[in-house]
Structure 1
C-alpha cells in the first residue's frame, strides 16, 4: 500500500470563524478527470459540487442531519483541519469479476466543530476516483455525547439538468419492481404502490432506490448508490421534481421515532456517484467494493463458485409444491396424518434425479427448496414465528441419504432457509442450522425473507434488518458457509469484507416470468439491470430457461430467445449460476453445451459495448484457465453488433463456438431458433453478428494449441 500525505496549503484560510466569506477547497482524482469542490457558506454550512473534465455534474449540494431530541447538525460549522492524502494499492478478489482490484484515489479529510454552545465535532471524508466520487460522515468520540439518534440524514445531490433516469421506487421492503425510464422531473414513485405481484411493499415517499442510473444531455452517465452499509438504515433518494435534486431519505421503523441509533465513534456508509463517459464504464468500475474494508475472514478457499440445478423452477411451474401436506397437533407440532397431497417436490427420489443430472454434466451444486417442515403456513399468516424448523426434514426427504449420495457423485447440496421474514425464529436457530450443514458438508445456503418483517413495524431495509443480515453473514462464516440472500438488503460491496456474501437476489428475477400479472419481465428489463442493479454486486437471477413458452403456464412466458438465455451466464455476473429449467428440457439439447462449458469465476471482465436499456456485450476470461466467454443481449430491437476480439492474447488463435439467434429467431414468434457454428479468431479479428429482437449471442473461445 502506498499512502502519501500532501502539504495542506490552505489551513490558515480555513481555521478562521465560520462568519467569514464563503471558502472552498477542492480535491481531484489521480488523473484529474473528477474534482470535488468543498464549499463553506458564511453561515457555516458545508456543501460540495462535483466536476467531470471541468464540466459541473453536481451543483452545490448541502449536508446536514436532523437528530432526535437534539439540535440538528449542519450549521455553524468551522473547518478545523483539512488534510489531503493519496492512496494507491491493489487487493486480491478471492472470487469475482477479476483477480485483482486497484484502489487508487485522493482523499480529503475535514475535521469540523460547531461554533455555538453545542461545540459538537464531525468529520467528512471525500474521495475522488477516476471512476467516480464518494463521501461519508464520521462522528468521533467527544465529551458530552455518547450516541446519536438520527431522524434524517440530509445528503443532497443537486443535478445540473433534467437527466434521463432508470429507476425503481424507494420501497422500504423490496427491490423487485420493474425499472422505469423517464426524466427526473417525471419520476412518480408513489404510482408504484400496492403492486399485486409483491409480497411486501411500502413506498412512503416520492423516492427511488439505489443504484439509480442517470444520463445527462451531453451523454455523461451518473449512478448513485451507497457503499459499506453497516449498522445503519438503507438510503433511498427523494426526488424534488422542481429543483431537480435528489436527497437522502433513510428507511425508518414504526417501532421508534428515529431511523438510526449509533454509539460514538461511528462512520456512515459511503455516499457514492459513479461517473462515466460511456455506459460500459459503469459496469467495469469497482468503486463500490473499493469503498469497503478488506477481507475480515482470512483464508476463504472454502468458498466455491459453482453452477447449480435444483428443485425450484418446478414449483413456479406448479408441477410440484414446497409443502408436504402436514398439519399441526394441539401443541402446534407438525405431524404427518398420512394425507399428504403427493405433489411435494423435495423428495429423496427427486433430489437424486437432480444429483444424477448434475453429476453427468459437470455441475457442482443442487439446490433443494421445500425440504424442511413449515411450508404449509409460510406465507399469508400473521403469526409466522416458530413456523419453520431449519433442521427437521419432511417425512419423504432423508437429508443424510441425499448428502451422501451427492458426495459420492462429486456434487454438493445447497441448503435453503426460507425465513418468511420471521427474523427472530431464524436467529434462534441459526447456529443449530449451520452446525447441521457443517456436519453434512454443505457449504452454502440460499436464504429468503418473503413477506412483511416480524416484528411488525420493521422493514427489510431499515437498520434493524441491516444488522440482522450482517449477523447472518458473521454467524455463517464461523461454520464456513456462504450466503446467497433473497429478499435481501441491497448489495453495497460488503462482499469484499465478508467474501461469504456470495450472491443475492434484490431485483425482479426469473420467477416473475412464471407468474407475474404482466405475463413476464419486459424484454428491456435485463439490458437495464446490467447498468443499474448489477453495479451493486452479484445477481442470483437463475437463467437458463429452455422451455421459453412455459407449457405449464399458458398465460406466461419468458420474453427472450434461447441464445439470450445462454448469454445471461456471461452478462449477469454471479459466482453461482443456476441452470433453472427441468433436467428433461436440457436433455439432448446442443445449446446446453454452453451452460456445461461456461465458467463462473473470472480473471478479467471487459464490457465491450452497450447502452442502458438497449443492449450490452461483456467478455470474461476464466480463472485458472485460458478460455474466454462472451455474452451479448438486446432489447426488443433487433440489431447488428461488432465485436473486436483485441482482448484476446496476441499471436494466439482461438476456436470460437458461437451460439446465436437463428435467421428467423424472434423472442415473440420464434424464440428457440438457435444457430451453432465455429470460427477461428484471434486478437486481430473483428466480427459482425445479428441479434434478433429480444435476442442474444453466447461465445466460448478456446485457445488452439500450436496456433
Structure 2
C-alpha cells in the first residue's frame, strides 16, 4: 500500500512537471503577435540564460533581425535570467479616429495585441506589450507593480538590427549646445552600420525616425517612438551601430542650455510604479509611399484628451520674420495681417519682438478687426514653470490670441517631455493652438492633443540664412523628410521662400511652392514678402487662397526618397497632384490623369516660368490618360483639377 502511494505520488509529480513543461513550451511558442492579414509579425525569444530578443518579419522575410530587449534598473535587472510567467491571449483593438492634421482625415485600423510577463531571478516582473497591424508592429515595456515605489532605468538595451547591405536615411542627433538638440540636421543617405559623418554639429547619436530599405530592397521600415509622456525622456539611437544594431539612447544630462533644468549626474528615466513606457514603433511597407502614409504612430498614442475640438481649425498664416527679420514695427506686423486677409488665410503669426509692437493692443486689435486670428511667439522658459505658464495662457487668450509658437526647447530630457504635455493641456483649457520650435519631434501627440498643430524639428527654409550646404541639399531633403520626419507628425517647414538670401536658393520657384503641399502641417506659415505675393500670377494667388492646410485623402503616385515624390491630395471637392524633383537631373514622368482626376474635364498646370528661380508658367489642358511631363532639375509642378 505504501509503495502504491509512493508510486501514485511520483506519477502526479511527473504529470505536474510534464504539464508545466508543456505549458512553458506552449507559452514560449506563443511569444509573438501577427497582424490580422498575417503579413507583419513580431516574435520574442529567450536564450538558455534568459536573455531576451525579438525579430520582425513581413511575409516571413526578415525586416528586423534578432535584436536585444531588456532593462537594467537601479533595483532590478531585466537583461538576463528571465523566464516566461504568463502569455495573454491575443486581443483585437480598433483604432478609429479623426485627425485634425494628417495626410488622411479618418483612420480605422485593427491592431492585434498580446502581453507577455517575464520574471527575473529575484522574482520581479516585467511585461512586454506587443502590437501588430497592417502598417507594422510595436512593443513597449511595462511594470505592473502597484506599490508606488520609485524606479530608475539605468540602461535600455533595446536594439534594432538592420542587416548589412541595407541602406537608408538617418539624421544625426546633435550634442547639447545653445540651440541643440533641435532635430535640425540633414537626413544622410547611409548604409546599415555606417558611422556619423558630415553632420552640421557635433553629434552624439542618430535621431528617430530612421528609415531603411531592407529585405534585399523589397521592403521599407521606419523606426520611431510613440506615446512618450512625462514618465520617460525622448530617446534617440546610439552612434555605435556595429553590425547594424542601433541601440536606444536616453537624452543627455547636459541638454539644459535653454531651460531652467537642474544639474544632474544622469538623465535616466525615473518614475513611480506602475509604469507604462513609450512604444517602439516599427512601420513596414512594400513601398516607401506606404511609410509616408502610415498612421501607426498615432494609432499607438492615447486617444484625444480634448472632448470638444470644434474650436481647433487648421489654416494658413502670413509671417513677417522670414522677409523682415529685424523689423518689429507695428506697421510690418499689420502689413502681414493685411496680406493674410487678402489671401483668405485664417491666421497671422507675430514672431519674436511682437510685444513691443503691440503696445495698447495695436497689432492684435488690427488682426481681429480684419477677421484674422493672431498667433504669437514666446520663449520656452516662459512656459516651463506651471503657474507662469497658466497665467500667461490666460493673459494671451484674454488679449484675443488664438495660438502660441513656443521656441528653443532644445532638450529631450524627461522634465521637458512632461512640460510639453502640460503645455498642450494648459493651452487647450484656454482654446489656444500650439506650435513648437527648436524642439523634439512629435510622438503621436497630435492625436492625444489635437490643438498641437505643428512643430519645427526640421531643417526648414530659415536655413537659407544660416546653412551654406542647404541650397544644394534642400531639394533632396524635401523628397526624404515626408518619409521620415513628417511621418512622426506635423512639420513647420515654412514653405515658399523665393527671395534670395545669404545662401542662394537652387530649387525652382515651383519646387518651393510645391513643398507647401507635400509637407503636412496644421498651420502652414508661408515665408516671403508682400511684394513677392503681390507679384504672383492670379492663378497662383488663387491657389494660395484655395489650398487646404490639411487633407481628407492622400495617395502616393511616385515615392522615391532622395529622388522624387508625386502625391494626389484631396480636400472636399478640391483635387490636386503635386510633385517635386530632388535631383540635379531632368526627370521624365507619365501620369494617368483620368484615373486621378475622375469627375473633372480639365487641369491647370503650374510649372517653371522663364526665370525658373522666380517665375511661374500657368497653362490649362484637357485631361488625358498618358500625360507626359519632365520635371526640371530641383524642380516641381502643381496640378489643380478643374471643370
Question: Equivalents in 2 of 1:11, 1:211: separation in Å?
Answer: 44
Q: Which runs of 4+ in 1 moved over 4 A?
A: 10-15, 20-24, 421-424, 646-650
Please tell me whether the aligned partners of residues 621 and 629 of structure 1 are also in contact (alpha carbons under 8 angstroms): yes
Aligned to 2:124: 120
Q: 1:427/1:312 Cα in 2 relative to 1: closer, same or farther (>3 Å)?
A: farther
Q: In 2, Cα distance between the equivalents of 1:257 and 1:397?
A: 42
The reply to whether residue 578 of structure 1 matches residue 525 of structure 2 is yes
Gaps of 5+ in 1: 1-9, 196-201, 322-344, 373-392, 451-458
Could you tell me how far 1:45 is from its partner in structure 2? 2.5
- Distance in 2 separating the partners of 1:296 and 1:137: 23
Q: Write out aligned runs for 1:281-296 (5 A).
A: 281-296=290-305
1:532 to 459, 484, 497: 484
Preserved contact between residue 23 and residue 40 of structure 1 (Cα < 8 Å): no
**5 Å matches for 1:312-331?**
312-316=321-325, 321=326
- SS of the residue corresponding to residue 530 of structure 1 reads helix
- 8 Å CA contact 2:71–2:157 kept in 1: the answer is yes
Given the alignment of the two structures, is residue 171 of structure 1 paired with residue 153 of structure 2, yes or no? no
For 1:90 and 1:423, how far apart are their aligned partners in 2? Answer: 33
1:596 and 2:545 are equivalent in the alignment? yes
1:355 corresponds to:
337
Q: How many Å apart are 1:21 and its aligned residue?
A: 12
Contact 2:44 2:55 in 1 (8 A): yes
Conserved 8 A contact 1:65-1:74 = no
**For the residues of structure 1 that align with 2:136 and 2:470, how far apart are their CA atoms?**
38
1:192 aligns with 2:195: no
Q: Confirm or deny: 8 A CA contact 1:239 1:245 kept in the other structure.
A: no
Residue aligned with 2:569, SS: strand
Equivalences, count: 606
Cα pair 2:30 2:87 within 8 Å, conserved: no
Secondary structure at 2:313 match in 1: coil
User: Is 1:444 equivalent to 2:403 in the alignment?
Assistant: yes
Deviations 1:7-41 (A, max 9, x none): xxx99667549xx9975633211111111222122
| Corresponding residue for residue 592 of structure 2 | 644
1:55-91 Cα deviation digits (max 9, x unpaired): 1122222211122354455432323233212223422
Q: Is the 8 A contact 2:382 2:389 kept in 1?
A: no
Q: What's the CA shift string for 1:453-504, capped at 9, x where partnerless?
A: xxxxxx6011111111112111111111110100122111111011111110
Following superposition, the deviation at residue 673 of structure 1 comes to 4.3
How far apart, in 1, do the equivalents of 2:406 and 2:218 lie? 39
Report Cα offsets for 1:408-452 as digits up to 9, x if no partner: 211111111133x5765x6553222211221132211111016xx
Give the Cα–Cα distance (whole angstroms) in 2 for the partners of residues 673 and 346 of structure 1.
Answer: 29
Go from structure 1 to structure 2 and tell me whether the alpha carbon gap of 1:128 and 1:646 turns closer, same or farther (over 3 Å shift): farther
Unaligned segments of structure 2, at least 5 residues: 1-17, 176-180, 255-263
Residue aligned with 2:153, SS: strand
Task: Please give the per-residue CA displacement for 1:492-531, whole angstroms capped at 9, x wherever unaligned.
Answer: 1111011111110001111001232336361312111121
For the residues of structure 2 that align with 1:463 and 1:573, how far apart are their CA atoms? 27
Structure number with the higher helix fraction is 2
Larger displacement relative to structure 2 (500-509 or 53-62):
53-62
Which deviations, in whole Å up to 9, do the C-alpha atoms of 1:150-195 show, x marking residues without a partner? Answer: 1111112122323112111133622111121121232326x637x3
Equivalent residue number for residue 677 of structure 1: 619
- Equivalent-residue separation in structure 2 for 1:348 and 1:276 (angstroms): 50
Whether the 8 Å CA contact 1:149–1:261 is kept in 2: the answer is: yes
Could you give the per-residue CA deviations for residues 642-685 of structure 1, whole angstroms, max 9, x where no partner exists?
A: 233466474x22442111124x66xxxx423422111233xx73
Give the aligned partner of residue 561 of structure 1.
508
Q: Distance in 1 between matches of 2:281 and 2:516?
A: 28
| Counterpart selection for 2:63 from 57, 64, 89 | 57
Tell me which residue corresponds to 2:558.
Answer: 609
**1:456 corresponds to which residue?**
none
Which region of structure 1 is more displaced relative to structure 2, 495-504 or 83-92? 83-92
Q: Tell me the TM-score normalised to structure 2 length.
A: 0.89
Q: What is the aligned partner in structure 2 of residue 140 from structure 1?
A: 144
Q: Describe the SS at the equivalent of 2:555.
A: strand
Using a 3 Å threshold, how does the CA distance of structure 1 residues 12 and 696 change in structure 2: closer, same or farther?
Answer: farther
| Residues 1:308 and 1:672: Cα distance change in structure 2 (over 3 Å) | same
Aligned mates of 1:137, 1:72 — CA distance in 2? 11
Contact persistence 2:302–2:448 (CA under 8 A): yes
Q: Distance in 1 between matches of 2:30 and 2:454?
A: 42
Note if contact 1:469-1:488 (Cα within 8 Å) is conserved in structure 2. no
Match of 2:4 in 1: none
1:608 and 1:658 map into 2 onto residues whose CA distance is 17
* Paired position in structure 2 for 1:210: 208
- TM-superposed deviation, 1:346: 2.5
C-alpha contact 2:71 2:77 (8 A) present in aligned 1: no
What does 1:93-492 align with in structure 2 at a 5 Å threshold? 93-114=99-120, 116=121, 118-142=122-146, 146-171=149-174, 173-188=181-196, 192=199, 195=201, 203-204=203-204, 207-216=205-214, 217-231=216-230, 232-254=232-254, 255-316=264-325, 321=326, 345-372=327-354, 393-394=355-356, 396-398=357-359, 400-419=361-380, 424=384, 427-449=386-408, 460-492=411-443
Change (3 A) 1:130 1:72: closer
For the structure 1 residues 58 and 602, does the alpha-carbon distance in structure 2 shift closer, same or farther, using more than 3 Å as the test?
Answer: same
Cα separation, 2, equivalents of 1:412 and 1:210: 34
1:695 corresponds in structure 2 to 635
Residue 573 of structure 2: which of 621, 626, 640 is its match?
A: 626
Q: Deviations over 1:188-229 (max 9, x none)?
A: 26x637x3xxxxxx633xx31011101123331111111111
Give secondary structure in 2 for the equivalent of 1:127. strand
Secondary structure of the corresponding residue to residue 335 of structure 2: helix
Residue 339 of structure 1: aligned partner: none
Q: Is the 8 A contact 1:514 1:556 kept in 2?
A: yes
TM-score (norm 1): 0.81
Q: Give the Å deviation of 1:557.
A: 1.6
Distance in structure 1 (CA, Å) of the matches to 2:374 and 2:195: 44
Distance 1:515 1:597, change over 3 A: same
**Contact 1:14–1:23, Cα closer than 8 Å, also in 2:** no
Following superposition, the deviation at residue 244 of structure 1 comes to: 1.6
* Change beyond 3 A, Cα 1:293–1:11: farther
